[in-house]
């Protein structure tokens, strides 16, 4: 019989406590007052959460309906529900367990009338949101090409994630978005939602926060204070401002709030998560107790030492050190390679070796910082016949932007490719409606022509409106011009010209959605990949063969995914490629967010390392083909933050070896300790971003806080020193890692 929402369980012994270590048991038994459980990677966070919920019920501290348990995913909520039922030996009904959105919707349906809605309101999906905003923008004569509705909606969503209603958006905050009209459009959008008896996902919490803060409805908040005796929150480090405000308001009742999370795994700042929420928990909830879960049950000692050493460099953290009873295991492999192709070859060969030793491909993962890095690994795996899966997105050549770009190239190479032309004829938008495209297609079928030939015919007749004819004629001229360049222009350069002149690149550049930068990087990677082939035809043939071989095979598969997507997962063997400054840490993240961006990148490194149970391999390259040209790379600053005792370093002859007490000598056979932190031969000379070759005083010494000057980047301040490398924060907020020889004191 299930436990009813109003019936506490009769108290008996609690055998489930015997499986817990002392800090875990402490977290479970500390039921009253505010509690922060800092749960490091692999320390049994889920076990503590579920056991604590079971213990509340088991000890008659609350009825199921008096517990509010918040998760980030439905999967986590279902897992929690099943585990608690297993611990108690019976299902539990009537409690408030679910995601922020699900619980917000449950509350709002009870109080919808207080914000001008009825309980039967509709929740709009993202497509409906964008369509509604577009209507409002057109009514306000805002250019939707210059200000894409999808991008403007993303900004409104971000305002909602910060708990801001239209009246709280200042002119400075809005800037010139939508010609300075975005706050007005936000207000109109909210008003229109009420007319439609609808809300979006952001409103589910925002409306409830508005109700809770309104003194006229103080009884509503008081009702929930009386209802919820205990509040529990999972993944607290990922909460945004609105979620934080909602929780704080609800916790003002009993003060019995338990938040479980890991500040060192806060990696979603780009989508609104505020690491500050967990960092200031003790200030927000006076008298709060903090319990650290540091015993790791996942990884070997060397892996944990490496992760702890890297994350210790962050200043904005509460602090904990992972440890394990398990043996040290294998040291982390660090491999320096000449280029991206060599990197992919090394990883694939290492995977094959492990496979021959009996390791399962299902327990191996390649975790990249950015999606564009996947291509070389995919192609190498396919060449060797290694089965793989891409998690969190399509395979490289299946991505929308790549398919679109390939369609342009196919039409240039073969004008009669109707499928390719049909895909991009109105991408980017050229004002060609469905009716026009239908007319072109019907004419092609009836005349026995290709779509391209049909356009040639109709562009010279009166069947279509003059503006449409002009658009189509211009498109045909573009294709003809691009086709004429095949014999005189390198095919990779031609691809860049086509993407730029067609407006396709510009379309993604003006798109403000979070995934737009990644799509642009993938397009640049595509152009770069083409340079490896003799001509356009051979490249397109290669892609066709790749696509043909991408049918899903059965059996074990290597996992290929981004570091962001890997959070919460674990594998026996993990490969972490691309550890070069600019790639990882991401230059874009540092440029946009300064020190905070660098620290989030370091947390991402921590997440990546702690995904490994037995074996972790980190690779970096001296040269990487990016965006059609070769780029010399400096090893990631994170490499020298790894503990030397836990890392085994190997590099191809002549390569700089970070984190070692020495470098290869000129013979390539030994080490020269006196050369530590010096560039080896010419490899690192001038590899900093546009670093000048001008020699600075060899006697110059630096300390954090020193004011310095760089020939290209100007004046700045030293924020961190590692050997002869300085992290300098410049006046525009950018942080660059530079060799001291390129810097002068001022």
Catalytic site residues? 45-46, 234-235, 265, 611
DSSP annotation of 295: B
The kind and range of the H/E element at 714 are strand 714-722
What's the CA angle centered on 709, arms 703 and 712, to 5 degrees? 135
The string of DSSP codes covering 316-384 is SS-----B-SS---SPEEEEEESSHHHHHHHHHHHHHHHHHTT--GGGEEEEESSGGGHHHHHHHHHHH
Handedness of CA 519, 524, 530, 535 (dihedral sign): positive
End-to-end alpha carbon distance in the chain: 77
The kind and range of the H/E element at 509 are helix 504-510
The kind and range of the H/E element at 276 are helix 276-279
Q: Which two tokens stand for residue 709?
A: 């000057």
**Residues 186/137, Cβ–Cβ less than 8 Å:** no
Q: Which two tokens stand for residue 229?
A: 């005796």
Handedness of CA 370, 375, 376, 377 (dihedral sign): positive
**Residues 118/198, Cβ–Cβ less than 8 Å:** no
As a whole number of angstroms, the distance between CA 464 and CA 437 comes to: 11
**Residues 303/332, Cβ–Cβ less than 8 Å:** yes
**Residues 652/337, Cβ–Cβ less than 8 Å:** yes
As a whole number of angstroms, the distance between CA 470 and CA 725 comes to: 57
Per residue, the 3-state secondary structure of 373-397, as one string, reads: HHHHHHHHHHHHCCCEEECCCCCHH
**What is the three-class DSSP state of 165?**
coil
Handedness of CA 206, 209, 210, 211 (dihedral sign): positive
As a whole number of angstroms, the distance between CA 299 and CA 570 comes to: 9
What's the CA angle centered on 271, arms 268 and 276, to 5 degrees? 55
């Amino acid at each position: 019989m299930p436990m009813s929402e109003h019936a506490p369980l009769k108290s008996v012994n609690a055998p489930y406590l015997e499986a817990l270590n002392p800090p875990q048991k402490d977290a479970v038994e500390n039921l009253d007052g505010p509690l922060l459980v800092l749960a490091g990677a692999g320390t049994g966070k889920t076990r503590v959460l579920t056991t604590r919920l079971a213990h509340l019920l088991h000890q008659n501290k609350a009825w199921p309906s008096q517990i509010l348990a918040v998760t980030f995913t439905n999967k986590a909520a279902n897992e929690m529900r099943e585990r608690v039922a297993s611990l108690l030996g019976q299902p539990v009904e009537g409690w408030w367990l679910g995601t922020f959105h699900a619980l917000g919707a449950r509350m709002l349906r009870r109080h919808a009338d207080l914000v001008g809605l009825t309980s039967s309101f509709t929740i709009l999906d993202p497509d409906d949101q964008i369509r509604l905003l577009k209507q409002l923008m057109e009514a306000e004569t805002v250019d939707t090409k210059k200000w894409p509705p999808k991008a403007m909606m993303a900004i409104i969503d971000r305002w909602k994630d910060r708990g801001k209603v239209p009246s709280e958006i200042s002119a400075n905050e809005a800037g010139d978005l939508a010609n300075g009209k975005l706050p007005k459009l936000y207000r109109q959008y909210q008003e229109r939602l009420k007319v439609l008896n609808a809300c979006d996902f952001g409103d589910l919490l925002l409306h409830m926060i508005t109700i809770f803060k309104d003194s006229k409805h103080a009884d509503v908040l008081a009702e929930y204070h009386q209802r919820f005796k205990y509040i529990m929150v999972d993944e607290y480090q990922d909460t945004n401002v609105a979620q934080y405000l909602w929780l704080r308001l609800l916790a003002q009742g009993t003060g019995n709030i338990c938040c479980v999370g890991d500040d060192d795994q806060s990696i979603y700042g780009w989508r609104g998560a505020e690491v500050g929420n967990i960092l200031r928990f003790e200030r927000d909830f006076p008298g709060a107790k903090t319990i650290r879960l540091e015993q790791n049950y996942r990884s070997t000692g060397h892996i944990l030492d490496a992760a702890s050493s890297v994350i210790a460099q962050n200043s904005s953290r509460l602090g904990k050190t992972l440890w394990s009873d398990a043996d040290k295991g294998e040291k982390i492999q660090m491999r320096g390679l000449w280029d991206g192709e060599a990197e992919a070859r090394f990883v694939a060969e290492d995977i094959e070796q492990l496979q021959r030793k009996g390791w399962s491909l299902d327990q191996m993962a390649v975790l990249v910082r950015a999606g564009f890095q996947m291509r070389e690994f995919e192609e190498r795996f396919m060449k060797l016949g290694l089965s793989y899966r891409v998690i969190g997105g399509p395979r490289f050549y299946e991505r929308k932007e790549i398919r679109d770009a390939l369609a342009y190239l196919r039409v240039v190479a073969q004008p009669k490719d109707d499928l390719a032309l049909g895909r991009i004829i109105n991408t980017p938008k050229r004002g060609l409606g469905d009716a026009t495209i239908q007319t072109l297609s019907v004419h092609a079928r009836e005349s026995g022509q290709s779509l391209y030939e049909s356009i040639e015919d109709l562009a010279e007749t009166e069947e279509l409106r003059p503006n449409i004819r002009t658009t189509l004629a211009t498109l045909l001229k573009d294709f003809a011009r691009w086709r004429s360049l095949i014999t005189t222009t390198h095919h990779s350069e031609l691809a860049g010209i086509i993407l730029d002149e067609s407006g396709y690149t510009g379309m993604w550049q003006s798109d403000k959605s979070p995934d737009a930068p990644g799509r642009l990087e993938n397009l640049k990677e595509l152009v770069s990949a083409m340079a490896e082939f003799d001509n356009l035809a051979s490249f397109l043939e290669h892609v066709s063969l790749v696509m043909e071989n991408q049918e899903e095979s059965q059996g074990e598969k290597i996992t290929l995914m981004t570091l962001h997507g890997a959070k919460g997962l674990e594998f026996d063997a993990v490969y972490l490629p691309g550890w070069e400054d600019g790639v990882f840490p991401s230059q874009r993240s540092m440029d946009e967010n300064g020190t905070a961006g660098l620290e989030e990148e370091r947390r991402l490194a921590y997440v990546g390392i702690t995904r490994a149970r037995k074996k972790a391999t980190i690779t970096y390259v001296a040269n990487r083909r990016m965006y059609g040209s070769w780029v010399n790379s400096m090893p990631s600053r994170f490499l020298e933050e790894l503990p030397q005792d836990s890392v085994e370093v190997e590099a191809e002859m002549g390569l700089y070896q970070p984190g070692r007490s020495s470098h290869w000598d000129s013979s390539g056979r030994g080490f020269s300790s006196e050369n530590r932190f010096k560039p080896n031969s010419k490899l690192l000379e001038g590899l900093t971003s546009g670093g000048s070759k001008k020699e600075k005083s060899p006697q110059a010494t630096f300390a954090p806080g020193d004011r310095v000057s760089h020939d290209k980047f100007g004046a700045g301040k030293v924020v961190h020193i590692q050997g002869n490398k300085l992290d300098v924060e410049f006046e525009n907020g950018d942080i660059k890692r530079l060799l001291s020889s390129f810097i002068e004191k001022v």
